[in-house]
């Protein structure tokens, strides 16, 4: 399965981008207090609408999403166009926003800054015993780097299922952090190793990222940095 992941720096809150937001999205944009959060949300929506317009062959201005949350009914769920052969996943961290799109197959994208710390409490919370064992003997910097390889993989597969943290992080085990990404074991029926494909991504300097797709097909992922 060929997938393009599109990355972008935060876009400025200019009229040419803001006019692409519908009324619900304008409300969400205005509800953020921090300028950085406003720009991340705006960038994610512009990326998603740009890719959707390209894939579906429709005018950019005509792209309208339904982002209704399946759990609570509020408009903060995954953006989608009902009936379209397209699934989207947006992720952001620091000054990097990413968008992955697949043909109506569940997909999850995650990106994290590489400067975060990984203390023992976080490692114990997130990693399975086998994964934690792989971190034994690593220096602090090496341990943090390895941990966030696992973390982005876990976030990606949970986003793909749509269940998020309802799946205990310790219940899933991946291949070693320095090996190609594979789901080895899962304690949740929503994740079947035989039907889960992953790839660690380059993203950008100072970041870790991963993509997961609930499919039996192997992934061929191309990353591109978008400048509007």
Between strands 220-225 and 2-8, the pairing is: parallel
**How high does pLDDT run on average in the chain?**
94
In which residue are the tokens 């379209």 written?
Answer: 84
**35-86, pLDDT tens digit by residue?**
999 999 999 999 999 999 999 999 999 999 999 987 788 888 899 998 899 9
CATH class of the domain whose range is 2-225: alpha beta
Residue with tokens 């994740």: 191
Whether 99 contacts 44, CB under 8 Å: yes
Judged against a pLDDT cut of 90, whether residue 119 lies above it is answered with no
What is the average pLDDT across 91-101?
A: 97
φ/ψ of residue 226, rounded to 5 = -95, 135
List, in sequence order, every residue forming a beta bridge with 172; answer none if it has no partner. 186
Residue 113 belongs to what H/E stretch?
strand 107-113
pLDDT of residue 140: 87
The set of residues, in sequence order, having a beta carbon less than 8 Å from that of 76 and lying 6+ positions away, is 28, 67, 69
**Averaged pLDDT for residues 111-121:** 89
Q: How confident is the model at residue 12 (pLDDT cuts 50, 70, 90)?
A: very high
Q: Is 57 helix (H, G, I), strand (E, B) or coil?
A: coil
Say if residue 17's pLDDT is above 90.
yes
pLDDT over 90 at 138, yes or no: yes
* Residue range 13-17: mean pLDDT, rounded: 97
| pLDDT at residue number 136 | 93
What is the pLDDT at residue 45? 98
Res 101: pLDDT: 95
Q: What is the pLDDT of residue 116?
A: 82
What is the predicted pLDDT for the residue at 216? 96
Residues 6+ apart with CB under 8 A from 225: 6, 7, 8, 204
Q: What percent of the chain has pLDDT over 90?
A: 86
pLDDT digits (tens, 9 = 90+) for 144-200: 999 999 999 999 999 999 887 788 999 999 999 999 999 999 999 889 999 999 999
- How much is the pLDDT for 115? 84
What are the structural domain ranges in the chain? 2-225
């Amino acid at each position: 399965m060929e997938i393009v992941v599109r990355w972008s720096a935060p876009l400025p809150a200019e009229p040419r981008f803001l006019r692409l937001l519908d009324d619900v999205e304008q409300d969400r944009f205005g509800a953020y207090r921090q300028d950085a959060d406003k720009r991340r949300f705006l960038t994610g929506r512009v990326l998603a609408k740009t890719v959707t317009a390209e894939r579906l062959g429709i005018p950019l201005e005509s792209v309208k999403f339904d982002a209704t949350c399946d759990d609570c009914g509020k408009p903060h769920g995954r953006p989608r166009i009902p009936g379209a052969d397209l699934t989207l996943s947006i992720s952001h961290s620091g000054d990097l926003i990413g968008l992955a799109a697949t043909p109506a197959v569940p997909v999850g994208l995650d990106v994290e800054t590489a400067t975060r710390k990984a203390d023992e409490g976080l490692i114990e919370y997130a990693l399975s015993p086998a994964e934690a064992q792989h971190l034994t003997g690593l220096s602090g910097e090496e341990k943090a780097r390895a941990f966030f390889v696992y973390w982005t993989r876990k976030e990606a597969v949970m986003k793909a299922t749509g269940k998020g943290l309802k799946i205990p992080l310790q219940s899933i085990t991946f291949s070693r952090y320095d090996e190609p990404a594979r789901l080895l074991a899962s304690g949740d029926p929503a994740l079947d190793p035989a039907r889960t494909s992953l790839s660690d991504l380059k993203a950008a300097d100072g970041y870790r990222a991963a993509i997961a797709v609930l499919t039996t097909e192997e992934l061929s992922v191309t990353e591109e940095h978008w400048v509007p």
